[in-house]
Chain A
Amino acid sequence: MTAELAEPASKIELPAHIGGGGDIPSFDVHLRVRRYNPEVSDESTWDDFHVTMYGTDRVLDALHKIKWEIDGSVSFRRSCAHGVCGSDAMRINGRNRLACKTLLKDLDTSKPITVEPIKGLPVEKDLIVDMEPFFQSFREVMPFLINRGHEPTKERLQSAEDRERFDDTTKCILCAACTSSCPVFWTDGQYFGPAAIVNAHRFIFDSRDDAGDMRLEILNDKEGVWRCRTTFNCTEACPRGIQVTQAIAEVKQAILSRKI
């Protein structure tokens, strides 16, 4: 195509280093992947893989390289590959993270990197867990807007401040990194877990919603918010940066102040 028009008038001086850099460095990585396939054995094992990776690569890229070039049976979920779909939460070096958001260069590559399924949910195969109990808890907190008022012809009004009140908890992608990092959830699978509480919070503090009391009632249950031991594992694990522990504290506070 041809550029026939006037030269751009607005031009800036770019610093000399912009876009510099040269070749991306490569390095060798040792991954220890927790394997489990009940079709083969009831026992889980560790498999070791050595791959050469690059500076911008993530743990997901290493897993793909293993699956595509070494062992096609290594099984894990993934989709968007940039931290918004929530498919690939796993335990990397003992910490819950999204594989697609964890850059290899940010890990200590002088030692083996361990990759395991998230804890507290039944393992189906390798890094794949049964998500159904997790989504069951989510569904139980009534995670949808309930408004009993007259439906307006246009939008409901909401001030920017009221909208901001629950902004943090709207970011949840239901990856289960928080819930499966919670020691209470590990020992008591009946506990709602942080993600369900986060999603309840998102509606309890939405000025358009009328069912906050019902949700607080649900979370006042013995398997509700009071099981939280404030260990902050969930907050550390959240790949979206949600202040999960704080959200749980706000729900506890709301239960107390509303005297349910």
Chain B
Amino acid sequence: MQVHKYDVVIVGAGGAGMRAAIESGQRAKTAVLTKLYPTRSHTGAAQGGMCAALANVEEDNWEWHTFDTIKGGDYLVDQDAAEVMAKEAIDAVLDLEKMGLPFNRTPEGRIDQRRFGGHTRDHGKAPVRRACYAADRTGHMILQTLYQNCVKHNVEFYNEYYVLDLLTVEEDAVREDGTPYKQKRVAGVVSYDLASGELHVFQAKSVVFASGGAGKVFKTTSNAHTLTGDGMGIAFRRGIPLEDMEFFQFHPTGLAGLGILLSEAARGEGAILRNSEGERFMERYAPTIKDLAPRDIVARSMANEVREGRGCGPNKDYVLLDLTHLEPAHIDAKLPDITEFARTYLGVEPYTEPVPVFPTAHYAMGGIPTNISAEVLQDNDTVVPGLYAAGEVACVSVHGSNRLGTNSLLDINVFGKRAGIAAAEYAKTADFVDLPVDPEAYTLDLLNHVRTSDGTEKVAAIRKELQDTMDANMQVFRTADTLNQVLTDIASFEERYQRISVQDKGKRFNLDLLEAVELGFLLELAKVMTVAALHREESRGGHFREDFPERDDEKFMKHSMAYKDEHAPADGSAEAIAGIRLATKPVVFTRYEPMVRKY
């Protein structure tokens, strides 16, 4: 085991991690630990754009953006955070441009902007052109630009170092009102070097989690194979709560059967969703902004069309994204990548044929709770000094129960930057926390258990069954029955997981072992998501309960907070299901009263 010492350690090298690194690296001794090479991160798969009220092409302001974000999130958004994000969006885009990002331009040479779902002028009157973009590869350009600037600033990367544990200590402390509590402090992280199979302990004053999402709990997903919720899982195992995990976004337009993302920018540029009768069915569900309604509404509408028998194809299980009325030259200029995906993977020519699409698991609105300075919370309001999170792994919460398109690229830039600055500033004043005795012991046990087990269960088989039940029972339509089915299934998967074995027993690049560890995180997170979904007996944003189809502000206008608690009584009460304790946290309101959400 080797021990390294840094002021700041950043876990993850996608958009949020590298944005943080650019700030932190110029202020403090910083290391970035990433299980992939930085340019492999899934930020690069984002397509459509990044919203900011630049007003380059039409009237706009950040207050409208704030409102859209809050309404889009079905009022579960913390309004102070949404305000910060919309306000700082403008500088976030300008920062990227100055770093070199090649945005598409207007005839005047300014950054061009286009329409995107849920982004409107004057509180919902009409779609507004707010998304700054680079063709349909905006995420690719952001990832490359941030990596280029990390190279420029000599950011120190540890590539293919898979972080497996967060090292914390607990101290006795007393609240202002005199009640005693355990204050967590961060000491560092434990990582596994994929190339050598060795463990490395990183002692750090500040740790920033920016490790992305957990889309691989589902079968049909736009997420990369590597998005297994490691950061969320690590934090949860170490007693950090997870907030709003029941809210998962299903992006309306995944390539049917494959889940590969086709950007909402297609609809922003004029594409139309149609059912088997050729109808523009979104006119039924969102008469004002139609195909540009927020994603939860469009995804549900599509699933409803299919359920009512108006799906297309031999199994009537998808709908169509129609671009055939757009000029091929316009498609080539604005949507080159996604049309190539349709050609490559489905053999469909989007110039002349509509493209088969169906909702695909896309984005975790929930995650590690933080305040607007990206500081991680160990309960509703107690900060863990030195611990930060940003991007999809975190829950600020700017997305509430449904994220608007483009707001994730914004989130990673605004809160990645905030996290990087805050982590470095904290490290300037703080001392190192002593490492616990045998800091690597837990991780070593975890790995040895998997490596030496001679069970008969296969990782890939359990993972597939988990993903199948999540797609069948935890997708856009949910009921108590389907959710209880998932929990029953997960209980059996957890039991089988104890008896897995891996074939690769070596140390070098043991990705077989890695997948086994990842499955552990997936099981844990799927359970948290489902328990939270079962408890939320209402429908809001991305969470739709057919047995409770209305939003219930009186009972559920609050965030859910899930804690790992082995002592939680499994007595069938909704607040404590098999090792998970659920609590709530108030939503922050500033100026917007909840209204009925119509588009």
- Across the interface, do B152 and A144 meet the contact criterion of CB distance under 8 Å? yes
Asked whether A144 and B149 contact (CB < 8 A) given A14-B276, A81-B225, A170-B144, the answer is yes
* Cα–Cα, bound, A44→B325 (Å): 54
Encode B87-116 as 1/0 by CB contact (under 8 A) with A. 000000110011110111111111100000
Assess the A82–B345 pair: CB atoms within 8 A: yes
Inter-chain contact B39/A6, CB cutoff 8 Å: no
State the CA gap A72–B195 with chains docked (Å).
17
Task: Tell me, yes or no, whether B281 is within 8 Å of chain A by CB.
Answer: yes
> How many CB-defined contacts (below 8 Å) exist between A and B?
211
CA distance in complex: A174, B320 (Å): 33
- Which residue of A is nearest B286, CB measured? A5
Q: Kindly state the separation between the CA atoms of A73 and B272 in the bound complex, as whole angstroms.
A: 45
Asked whether any CB of chain B lies closer than 8 Å to the CB of A42, the reply is: no
Give complex CA distance A79, B35 in Å. 11
In the complex, B130 has a CB within 8 A of chain A? no
- Among A27-35, A63-71, A184-192, A250-258, the stretch that binds chain B is A63-71
**When chains A and B are docked, how far (Å) is the Cα of A19 from the Cα of B257?**
13
In the complex the two chains form, what is the Cα distance from A86 to B93 in whole Å? 25
Nearest chain A CB to B14 CB, angstrom units: 11
Q: Hey, what's the 0/1 contact readout for A47-90 against B, CB within 8 Å counting as 1?
A: 00000000010000000000111011101111111111111000
B571, chain A: closest CB distance, angstroms: 33
**How far is it, in angstroms, between the C-alpha of A2 and the C-alpha of B67 when the chains are bound?**
27
How far, in whole Å, are A81 and B225 apart by their CA atoms in the complex?
7
Q: Which A residues touch B151, using CB under 8 A? A: 138-139, 143-144
Whether the pair B508, A80 counts as a contact (CB closer than 8 A) is no
Chain A 196-226 interface 0/1 with B at a Cβ cutoff of 8 Å (1 = within): 0000000100101100000000000000000
**A125 CB contacts on chain B under 8 angstroms:** 508-509
Known interface pairs A156-B98, A163-B104; A7-B284 also in contact (CB < 8 Å): yes
Does A38 make an interface contact (CB < 8 A)?
yes
The answer to whether A73 touches B41, judged by C-beta atoms less than 8 angstroms apart, is: no
When distances are taken between beta carbons in the complex, the residues of chain B under 8 Å from A78 are 225
By the criterion of a CB under 8 Å from any partner CB, how many residues of chain A are at the interface?
76
**In the bound complex, how far is the Cα of B526 from the Cα of A97, in angstroms?**
35
Contact A79 B225 (CB under 8 A): yes
Interface-central residue, B40, B151, B226, B459, by most chain A CB under 10 Å: B40
Against A, the Cβ 8 Å flags (1 = close, 0 = not) of B293-314 are 0000000110010000000111
Q: Is the CB of A145 within 8 A of B99?
A: yes
Q: Is B251 an interface residue (CB 8 A)?
A: no
Give per-residue flags for A10-22: 1 if the beta carbon is below 8 A from chain B beta carbons, else 0.
Answer: 1111100011111
Interface pair B40/A87, CB less than 8 Å apart: yes
With an 8 A cutoff between CB atoms, is A260 at the interface?
A: no
- Check if B279 is an interface residue, CB within 8 A of chain A: yes
When distances are taken between beta carbons in the complex, the residues of chain A under 8 Å from B110 are: 154-155, 157
- CB pair A85 B41 closer than 8 Å: yes
B215 to chain A, nearest CB (A): 11
In the complex with contacts A20-B314, A155-B111, A39-B224 CB distance below 8 A: no
- Assess whether B503 is in contact with A73, with CB atoms less than 8 Å apart: yes
Contacts of A20 in B (CB 8 A): 313-314
Separation in Å of the B144 CB from the closest CB of chain A? 7
> Which residues of chain B are within 8 angstroms of A83 by Cβ–Cβ distance?
341, 344
Interface pair A173/B300, CB less than 8 Å apart: no
Measured between C-beta atoms, what is the minimum distance from B443 to chain A in Å?
21
* A23 proximal to B (CB < 8 A): yes
Q: How far is the CA of A45 from the CA of B268 in the complex (A)?
A: 51
A110 close to B (CB within 8 Å) = no
Closest to B352 in A: A15
User: Which B residues touch A171, using CB under 8 A?
Assistant: 137, 140
Distance in angstroms from B350 CB to nearest chain A CB is 13
Choice from B42, B312, B508 contacting A85 with Cβ under 8 Å: B42
Q: Does B300 contact A155, Cβ atoms closer than 8 Å?
A: no
Q: How far is the CA of A6 from the CA of B460 in the complex (A)?
A: 47
Residues from chain B with Cβ under 8 Å of A73 in the complex: 503-504, 506, 512
Interface bits B308-335 vs A (CB < 8 Å: 1, else 0): 0000111000101010000000000000
Quick check: is B356 within 8 A (CB to CB) of the other chain? yes
Report whether B148 and A143 are in contact in the complex, using a CB–CB cutoff of 8 Å.
yes
Please measure, in the bound complex, the distance between the C-alpha atom of A86 and the C-alpha atom of B147, giving whole angstroms. Answer: 14
Known pairs A56-B258, A206-B102; A87 contacts B313 (CB<8 A) = no
Q: Is the CB of B544 within 8 A of A11?
A: no
Q: Does B277 contact A (CB under 8 A)?
A: yes
Q: For the complex, what is the distance from the CA of A19 to the CA of B346, rounded to whole Å?
A: 11
Question: Within the complex, which residue of A69, A101, A208 is in contact with B100, where a contact is CB–CB below 8 Å?
Answer: A208
- Residue B280 at the chain A interface, CB threshold 8 Å: yes
State the Cβ distance, B408 to closest chain A Cβ, in Å.
Answer: 16
CB pair B44–A80 under 8 Å, yes or no, is: yes
Within 8 Å CB of A154, what residues of B? 94, 110
| A14-B104 in contact given A81-B225, A101-B344 (Cβ < 8 Å) | no
Residues of A within 8 A of B148 (CB): 143-145
Q: Does B260 contact A (CB under 8 A)?
A: yes
B141 and A156: CB pair below 8 A?
A: no
Minimal beta-carbon separation of B77 from chain A (angstroms): 22
A81 vs B258: C-alpha distance when bound (angstroms)? 10
Q: How far is the CA of A99 from the CA of B208 in the complex (A)?
A: 33
Neighbouring B residues of A209 by C-beta, 8 Å: 100
Given A18-B354, A144-B151: A173 and B512 within 8 A (CB)?
A: no
A25–B94 Cα distance when bound, in Å, is 50
Inter-chain CA distance A177–B323, complex, in Å, is 32
CB pair A72–B99 under 8 Å, yes or no, is: no
Q: By the criterion CB–CB under 8 Å, are B37 and A131 in contact?
A: yes
- Residue of A with least CB distance to B150: A144
CB-defined contacts of B109 to chain A, threshold 8 Å: 157-160
Which residues of B (454-500) have their CB < 8 Å from a CB of A? 458-460
- Residues from chain A with Cβ under 8 Å of B287 in the complex: 5-6
* A18 and B94 form a contact (CB under 8 A): no
Out of A8, A39, A103, A131, which one reaches B506, CB within 8 Å? A39
Flag if A157 contacts B141 (CB, 8 Å): no
What is the bound-complex CA distance between A80 and B137, given in angstroms? Answer: 14
List 7 tightest A-B contacts by C-beta distance, closest first.
A145-B100, A68-B460, A19-B312, A72-B503, A157-B109, A73-B504, A19-B313
A interface with B by C-beta (< 8 Å): 1, 3, 5-14, 18-23, 37-40, 56, 67-69, 71-73, 75-87, 101, 103, 124-126, 128, 131, 135, 138-139, 143-145, 147, 151, 154-160, 163, 166-167, 170-174, 203, 206, 208-209
Q: 11 A-B residue contacts at CB 8 Å?
A: A1-B301, A14-B320, A37-B508, A68-B460, A69-B460, A73-B506, A144-B148, A157-B110, A158-B109, A160-B104, A171-B140
Q: 13 new A-B pairs (CB below 8 Å) besides A73-B512, A83-B341, A158-B109?
A: A3-B304, A8-B279, A19-B320, A21-B313, A84-B140, A87-B36, A87-B37, A103-B344, A124-B508, A155-B97, A158-B105, A163-B105, A203-B100
